[in-house]
Chains A and B, each alone.
Chain A
Amino acid sequence: DADVTQTPRNRITKTGKRIMLECSQTKGHDRMYWYRQDPGLGLRLIYYSFDVKDINKGEISDGYSVSRQAQAKFSLSLESAIPNQTALYFCATSGTGGNTIYFGEGSWLTVV
């Protein structure tokens, strides 16, 4: 089983709909992240959390929100999805030293 699990793996949704991407990890890490990847643009950080009570905006947080429900769970929400949020989304974790980042398998989101 994967150490970092994302659900759903694929989703097509309509403009204006609310969508939640969920992430859980079994690595026991405190730090969790949500990244977005678009073709040719690399990985961009949406939000990150150092522990359950810590939430920080990344470089592209507009239009997104997150919830850290427990050490092992970090969810990403699109309150009102728009087509330019169509992308591949990765959840990731790292330990306190934060050097190695472990990614989930990704969630493909298409907004039509």
Chain B
Amino acid sequence: RKEVEQDPGPFNVPEGATVAFNCTYSNSASQSFFWYRQDCRKEPKLLMSVYSSGNEDGRFTAQLNRASQYISLLIRDSKLSDSATYLCVVKLGTNAGKSTFGDGTTLTVKP
């Protein structure tokens, strides 16, 4: 089993739609969680951190469920520019040696 698993996708949605991605992690000692965005053939960039209480940044909402060991990303009112691959990232702790990346979920928003 992979340490971090994401919905396989791809997700194809119309503009204005709401779409949600899930990510599960296997190590219950994981402490830090993030969503990164990667555009085609570009480098990944931090989209948002995921906090225990959940957090929102504009149209994006991230949630953490420690009991079930998953995190989610909700995108409301999808824009064409949201088309990208979304990577789930998990770390054991602030000073942990490495971050583990999921394989990503590809989103295509269509007119």
Q: Which residues of A contact B (CB under 8 A)?
A: 33, 35, 40-45, 48, 50, 56, 58, 88, 90, 96-101, 103-106
Out of B43, B46, B96, which one reaches A104, CB within 8 Å? B43
Contact between chains at B97 and A103 (CB < 8 Å): no
Contact between chains at A43 and B101 (CB < 8 Å): yes
Q: Which residues of B contact A (CB under 8 A)?
A: 32, 34, 36, 41-46, 49, 87, 89, 91, 94-99, 101-104
User: In the complex, what residue of chain B is closest to A56 when comparing beta carbons?
Assistant: B97
Contact between chains at B43 and A106 (CB < 8 Å): yes
Task: In the A-B complex, list the 10 residue pairs whose CB atoms are closest, starting with the nearest.
Answer: A42-B103, A103-B43, A43-B101, A42-B101, A100-B46, A45-B98, A97-B94, A105-B43, A103-B44, A106-B43
Min CB gap B7→A, angstroms:
13
Min CB gap B21→A, angstroms:
14
* Contacts A98-B96, A99-B32 supplied; 18 other A-B pairs, CB < 8 Å: A35-B101, A41-B103, A42-B101, A42-B104, A43-B44, A44-B101, A88-B41, A97-B94, A98-B91, A98-B99, A99-B34, A99-B49, A99-B94, A101-B36, A101-B99, A104-B43, A105-B42, A106-B42
Out of A41, A90, A96, which one reaches B43, CB within 8 Å? A90
B101 proximity list for chain A (CB < 8 A):
35, 42-44
B36 proximity list for chain A (CB < 8 A):
101
Contact between chains at A103 and B45 (CB < 8 Å): yes
Contact between chains at A42 and B87 (CB < 8 Å): yes
Min CB gap B42→A, angstroms:
7
Min CB gap B105→A, angstroms:
10
B32 proximity list for chain A (CB < 8 A):
99
B94 proximity list for chain A (CB < 8 A):
97-99
Most buried by B among A56, A96, A98, A100: A98
